[in-house]
Amino acid sequence: MRIHHYGWVPAGLVGTLALLLVACGGAESSETLAGGAQTLSAPVTQDRSEAAARPVANSSAKPDAELTARALAQAEVQAEQADPSQPLENLQPDSVASKSAYVSGAVVRKAAAVGIPAYRFYNASTGAHFYTISPSERDTLGSTVASPFSLEGPAFWVASASSPGLSPVHRFFNAQTGVHFYTISEAERAKTVATLPQFTYEGVAYYASQVAGAGLVPFYRFFVPGKGFHFYTASESEKNRIQANQSATYSYEGIGYYVLEGGAEATAAGSDTGSMMPAVNTARIPLGSTGSAVEQARATSETPAPGGGVGAFRTECDFSHMSFDDPIVYPGQAGRSHLHAFFGNTGTNANSTASSIANTGNSTCRGGILNRSAYWVPAMIDTRDGSPVKPQTANFYYKTGYGGVVPSSVQSMPAGLRMIAGDAKNASPGGQYQSMPFGYSCHTNSGTSMEGRSIPNCPTGAELWQTVNFPQCWDGVNLDSPDHKSHMAYPTGRGCPASHPVPLPEITFNIVYMITQTNAASNWRLASDNYSSALPGGYSGHGDWFNGWRPEAMGAFVRGCDQAALDCHSHLLGDGRAIF
């Protein structure tokens, strides 16, 4: 387990780094913190990791955690006594809302407009973790610091500005240890200023909650007496591991405050945000294809083959790009997701909409911009050095004739349809197919082998396929749903269920990775694998699809391939045209 508290920052980089850091470590400058407060300390002029490593002469001189515990208890009482009929908009800044506003999730929903992720880095040279809510700092550390930082992904969320029901979190810098300290307690802030001269108050870092509620998770606080600084985590499992294995070193002080739940698709409903996801070295994110800006189809005399009762259209798409975006799960929230690998529409990002997907962007798929659909999956990460693995290619199937669905009954996907298959929170090989419609396999000239639910250690020269099967029964009304799944359903074996009566082509993703080194895949995990590394990687397999087909092109292969129960291979539209 890697638990350290201070990320070394090269002195030459200090001037470029933003100052909104969480947990411990970082650099000082005169940049503005949340709420407009200015930092007060001088720029770093030495390797702070040395300061963090030194024992502290007077480790008992520390902030008073009991004041924070009292503050949280008093806030809970105030929330219970507050008028639940008072609109959140009428609250005084930084005041406590009614308990019902927290329990209902109203406080968190209000804060979503100013929500911002805290990113977690691992420093391989010191074994430290480093956190920042600054996207520019995240990108700078990941791309220009040659080593030692590896980005592990979004760790948790806070509010970047005042929001009803949330309170300011105060930030101090401890000159003795070179480590930052955070408190939500006004009393602890005042006592620290008055009695601990080694702590320099730097202002409001961000906003969080003193009251528990829906969409909020505890931010746990430890003190390390031997080093004289604090350690923080929003991960329940990390807290439990520290208490079980390192209680002699880490003194648990309780909940410091509550942060916003989320930070990654894999943990949107949990409290272990980013805690066990593989580290990502953003400097090693591979470049993809720039795609085509034109339609790519031509007349052909080749005709589809008999399908044996199954209609099949396929297309091949090159890898486009990787990013920490998910326009379906986190629309408009750049950087909030775990790392994804994208195919198809080259312009896909957090701000993509049905209109932008359908009308803008190049395409890396056969057919060019006849198919601007966006396809994405969690990136594959080589855990040896945090490098994202570049996909060789991807094959996307649009087929029918399975699960009792009659080929002639399928319809074209409606414009703007989007969906997710699989469960990014899954952490085991068991479960219902609807939660685990994915698999992995090895492909060589000798055939297919090592099929299963976890990433196999395919031999050198083989292709490793990551497969995701999507539901094909639509409710006929909704282009999306709150969980991005409920508007779709899998066939029952007798066709589509009555609740989802409209059959569409079944989409299957086959993402292909080349194995070029012996035992390479034994070190691979999905960016969304948020569970113990002692278990095989890949259990969080899932995929996202956003329709961007030209309606006439999709209509052609639905009629000429799927409804006709013919095999159009990976290039025929079924109307006398071939895509290339």
Single out the residue of 412, 341, 415, 331 nearest to residue 375, CA to CA: 341
Residue entry with tokens 């419609």: 437
Cα 274 from Cα 70, distance rounded (Å): 29
Can you state the angle between helices 65-81 and 186-195, rounded to 10 degrees?
A: 150
Distances in whole angstroms, Cα of residue 243 to Cα of each of 225, 252, 500, 523: 15, 7, 48, 29
Q: Are 42 and 11 in contact (CB under 8 A)?
A: no
Q: Residue 571 — left, alpha, or beta (φ > 0 → left; ψ -120 to 50 → alpha)? A: alpha
Single out the residue of 375, 404, 402, 407 nearest to residue 391, CA to CA: 375
Residue entry with tokens 């031999």: 459
Cα 358 from Cα 549, distance rounded (Å): 7
Single out the residue of 33, 53, 207 nearest to residue 41, CA to CA: 33
List the chain domain ranges.
63-260, 325-354+372-547
Q: Are 393 and 512 in contact (CB under 8 A)?
A: yes
Q: Are 98 and 82 in contact (CB under 8 A)?
A: yes
What does the pLDDT profile of the chain (580 residues) look like in tens digits?
333 332 333 323 333 333 333 334 333 333 344 544 333 222 222 233 333 333 444 545 799 999 999 999 999 999 999 999 999 989 988 899 999 999 998 998 888 888 887 777 766 655 557 777 777 777 776 554 455 667 766 777 889 999 999 999 998 988 888 778 999 999 999 999 999 999 999 899 899 999 999 889 999 999 988 888 888 888 887 888 889 888 898 899 999 999 987 533 323 222 333 357 888 888 789 999 999 999 999 999 999 999 999 999 999 999 999 999 999 999 998 888 999 999 999 999 999 999 999 999 999 999 999 999 999 999 999 998 889 999 999 999 999 999 999 999 999 999 999 999 999 989 888 655 555 799 999 999 999 999 999 999 999 999 999 999 999 999 999 999 999 999 999 999 999 999 999 999 999 999 999 999 999 999 999 999 988 888 999 999 999 999 999 999 999 999 999 999 999 999 999 999 999 9
The radius of gyration computed from the CA coordinates of the chain, to the nearest angstrom, equals: 26
Cα 494 from Cα 473, distance rounded (Å): 12
